[in-house]
Amino acid sequence: MFPTAVRSAGALQATEPFSRADAVRSRRVRQLFPEPVESVEPLDVYRDLPVVEGRPAVRLNMISSVDGSTAVDGLSGGLGGPADRKVFAALRSLADVVLVAAGTVRAETYGPARIPIAVVSGSLNLDWTTPFFTAATHRPIMVTSKQAPPAEVEQAQAVADVLIVGDTAVDLPAAIQGLGERGFRHVLAEGGPSLNGALATAGLVDELCLTFAPRLVSGTAKRIVAGEALVPPPALALHTICEEDGYLFLRYRFAG
């Protein structure tokens, strides 16, 4: 937890009392770009989903501190808050399927969701008895390669659908195509950074939804994308900016 800034007594006396109505107004999401709007619904802001010919479109949603950290004590939850959760819920409600790395599922303790979740894992090293699998509304989809241990594949098939793509490693373009063949047109990628890097390297990120949390973290946590350098770095076009409680919600699409 970070200490809360305390205003001086002189500053407090110089201001009007902060009413409940003021508090409610301060928690509204406001749009700053492309045009100022005092109060917006995240669903309305993010409703214009990216569209790609020939495969499902991929939105990448990540949160970062202002100094670039993706986690506090190893978890992204330490950066979040009510404002971030509101946008997170809107993005999930607009997606057909979530794509996430197994390490993120384990670290963030994913539970059952109202939307199908596809988990990328080469080893299939997961606890198949957790509620994520046993209480799922939609059977999770395990995305793996032919190198996955047969015993783990068998266990996975008991509680999830298994999508095998790639000989020695998960073939992400084939995975996205496979999700499309299952009827999913809009994929929401939730990380972690290594999966994000692999998606970016494969040219599979169509929109980046980035939350800047008003926190300074330092430390050694990864950036939102980790992996080999993108050469040349693709140019991004700013699509929208929203704000609530000091959180900035930026949306980028590729300039090309």
Q: What pLDDT shows up at residue 151? A: 97
Distance between CA atoms of residues 79 and 81, nearest Å: 7
For all residues of the chain together, what is the average pLDDT?
Answer: 89
- For 131-159, letters b (16+ CB in 10 Å) and e give ebbeebeeebbbbbbeebeeebeebbeeb
Inside any domain, residue 9: no
Q: What pLDDT shows up at residue 255? A: 79
Residue 46 amino acid letter: Y
Inside any domain, residue 133: yes
Name the domain count of the chain.
Answer: 1
Inside any domain, residue 152: yes
pLDDT of 21-45, one tens digit each? 333 344 689 999 999 999 999 999 9
Inside any domain, residue 139: yes
pTM of the predicted model over 0.85? yes
Distance between CA atoms of residues 230 and 243, nearest Å: 29
Q: What pLDDT shows up at residue 77? A: 85
For residue 192, say if its preceding peptide bond is cis, omega within 30 degrees of 0: yes
Q: Write out the residue range of the structural domain in which residue 108 sits.
A: 73-254
The pLDDT of 197-215, averaged and rounded, is 97
Inside any domain, residue 231: yes
Partnered with residue 241 across adjacent β-strands are 33, 250
Are the C-beta atoms of 57 and 185 separated by less than 8 Å?
Answer: yes
Q: What CATH number is associated with residue 165?
A: 3.40.430.10
Partnered with residue 62 across adjacent β-strands are 210
